Amino acid sequence: MTQATFFLVMFYIALLGLGKGISGASPLAAAAAPRPRDCPDKCGDITVPYPFGIGRGCSRPNFNLNCSEGVLLRGNNIQIESITLETAQIVAYLTSTYSCNAQGRRSRSQNMSFNLGSGLFLLSPADNVFTAIGCSLEARLNGRIGSANRYLTGCITTCTSVDLDDIGQEGAPCSGQGCCQASIAPGLSYVASRWGKDKQNNNPVPDNTCQYAFVAKKGWYNFSQSDLVGKNFANKLVKGTVPLVLDWAIRNGTCPSPQHNGNKDIPYGVCISTHSYCVNSSNGPGYFCNCSEGYVGNPYEGNGCKNINECEPSTWPKSIKYGNLFPCHGGKCRDVDGDYECNCNFGRRGDGKSDKGCEPVLSSAAVVVIDAPFYLAEGTISAIFISALLLLFVHMEHEKRKLSDRYNMNGGKLLKSIKIEIFKKEELDKITKNYSTIIGKGAFGEVYKGTTREYMQVAVKRSIAINKDRQKDFANEIQIQSQISHKYLVQLLGCCLETEVPMLVYEFVPRGSLYDVLHGKNGNMRRDPISLRARLDIAICSADALAYMHSQASQKILHGDVKSGNILLDDEFMPKVSDFGTSRLMSIEKDHTNWVIGDSSYIDPVYMKTGLLTEKSDVYSFGIVVLELITRKKARYDRNNSLPLNYIKASMEGATGQMYDTEILSSGEDVKCLGEVGLIALQCLEVDVDDRPTMTEVAEKIKRCKSRWLQSHWHGKTKAL
């Protein structure tokens, strides 16, 4: 055997060993098998992607569907409109409940109840809503979570008079006048709707009216007065069905540990395609698969995730419908596996992927001066080449000197002596993929998502500008921030000093801000369900973090921009207070500062008047956050209404109950608890700063409120949580 042959054999054996190692790390991979090529992948106009299939042996176990005359069915009663792999959802049609009245008697009716069976499908709590249409109606949705836990929710409608012209306007949201809506819980596999007359409403139900109740996709239904008359609404429906969204998952397993799952090129379970990864289901047990960033396709099939050629939009799959998703300004686009490069054209520099793009190295006047000798020498090629090399050399030396100067100016020598990681600019360019994924933007700058070489997700904050008078204090402030450690404060991991404005690297918090969870992100009305207990925990833990900043840290820190947008939530809805890095760090001897930039909807009016920020200014802003938690209203809502002013007014009129979020009201004890929390918020909003509690006192007050609320449930005064 020659030496070359020996090395080839050893290399092949090593590959076999690696393959066994990967399959050993993926215990469910053996269960994944591609469907035969002769299996149909469409039913009518509907695409049926694997793991779903039509016919024996064409799908994963329990994922089989039926195709009847171009109609895609699950069993006999679930008609499927579309299947989406990326979000693991289907849009289906199911029946609604209705009852009609004629001369005071029920004349026609149809009941809604459906059982989704084995648990493959669960009603999506984020994309569906329970809706009831009618007058003086008390609608209830019964259900079952899992195999034993019973579930009940509902809502009440009214009509201000028998005259149908006095009820809600055409296209109005369902707020109780003629129709109402209620959120649903995760984990529901069986539901049935029931109703009765609202006993608190003595108005008679008009003749020739109908009542409806159904679970449907959010945004699908807009109220119309005519829907109350006769069977107008029922006649709009196709076979008495309404569209709704069902979540699905591979229910017999979970994703591996974050260390394993961080490498998105290692197949796991039924995610058999290379460049795919596992995502834990947020609705019920199990997981589903996605293609890694830069790839698109079917992760459940071998080599199903294909590279996206970012440089050729004509080759993009139909699922990519974005206009300028992969920008390349002033450069040449080059596709690479899973990504793309945008190399600046000659004479330009910068980041072609950014909004600014590649910018000219020299000004127009400098180009004319340099070009003049070459025109005189009839454009000799050798002279141009030598000049280009000289320019390149001078530019590189200039860039090196500029990076070094910035490093020293931003306090690099001081920070080198402490335990904080200092990143090079080119490192952060790679970690953020040239700042391609923006996750936040505000008055201070932009925040980008990134992944380190150790597959750790981070948030990189790039500020727009920094006060030059404060630049000399930057290193001292970073040194103090790096020593702050509290489980409910976002941890500073490192910084980059080679840029004009230093960049900060923080731990990544996955769910986003409390503002987005409560009010929807970027104008999207989709909001996550969030329980009363979770909201109390968010308030308590956030208050603990601010109390630590005010009194327990080695150096007093004022936040200066407390708002729901600066409270981040992890996957378990636990908070992390962020953006205190933009706050003013103070010595123990000082009790105020006059440097702050905050959101005007949350700023303490005493600070606005005096220009002095104190810890009681943070208390005031936190009081508004507490009101957001219990009302689910923005600090300024419904065409510039002020939440704190309206709540104070409602408190004086004894009408605060009308402002609470109905999603977290299920008993009198809930109302009592919200009233106590609202009172704490009012104390934070006191005009006299001396009458406001400290953040430590705020945290303790809400803890006691939560304890009393939990005890009332444990003593059987209300239904189990």
The DSSP element (H or E) to which 90 belongs, if any, is strand 89-95
Contacts of 218 (CB under 8 A, 6+ apart): 127, 128, 129, 525, 526
Q: For residues 623 and 602, what is the distance between their CA atoms, to the nearest angstrom? A: 9
The pair of structure tokens assigned to 505 is 């690297």
Contacts of 537 (CB under 8 A, 6+ apart): 573, 574, 706
Q: Which amino acid is located at 244 in the chain?
A: L
Q: For residues 646 and 644, what is the distance between their CA atoms, to the nearest angstrom? A: 6
Judge contact between 213 and 130, C-beta under 8 A: yes
Q: For residues 294 and 403, what is the distance between their CA atoms, to the nearest angstrom? A: 31
Contacts of 381 (CB under 8 A, 6+ apart): none
DSSP state of 314: G
Q: For residues 399 and 396, what is the distance between their CA atoms, to the nearest angstrom? A: 5
Judge contact between 176 and 157, C-beta under 8 A: yes
Q: For residues 578 and 560, what is the distance between their CA atoms, to the nearest angstrom? A: 11
Q: Per the residue annotation, which of 127, 528, 561, 579 is the catalytic one?
A: 561
Q: For residues 285 and 146, what is the distance between their CA atoms, to the nearest angstrom? A: 10
Tell the burial category of 144 from Cβ atoms under 10 Å away from its Cβ (0-12, 13-18, 19+). middle
Q: For residues 213 and 30, what is the distance between their CA atoms, to the nearest angstrom? A: 44
Amino acid 482: pLDDT: 75
Give yes or no: 561 in active site: yes
Q: Is the peptide bond before 36 cis (omega within 30 degrees of 0)?
A: no
The pair of structure tokens assigned to 689 is 């700063």
The DSSP element (H or E) to which 344 belongs, if any, is strand 339-344
Amino acid 363: pLDDT: 57
Amino acid 119: pLDDT: 80
The strand pair at 241-248 and 121-123 is best described as antiparallel
The pair of structure tokens assigned to 277 is 């990864």
Q: For residues 535 and 638, what is the distance between their CA atoms, to the nearest angstrom? A: 23
* Spans of the chain, pLDDT less than 50: 1-32, 104, 107, 162, 259-262, 322-323, 367, 370-371, 374-375, 378, 582-592, 594-596, 717-721
Amino acid 553: pLDDT: 61
The pair of structure tokens assigned to 581 is 């890095």
Q: For residues 275 and 302, what is the distance between their CA atoms, to the nearest angstrom? A: 10
DSSP state of 35: P
- Among residues 568, 622, 141, 672, the alpha carbon closest in space to that of 660 is found at 672
Judge contact between 642 and 633, C-beta under 8 A: no
> Taking the chain, what is the end-to-end CA distance rounded to the nearest angstrom?
73
Judge contact between 189 and 116, C-beta under 8 A: yes
> Residue 131 forms beta bridges with which residues?
181, 214
Contacts of 402 (CB under 8 A, 6+ apart): none
Work out the angle at residue 402's Cα, subtended by the Cα atoms of residues 396 and 405, and round it to the nearest 5 degrees. 145
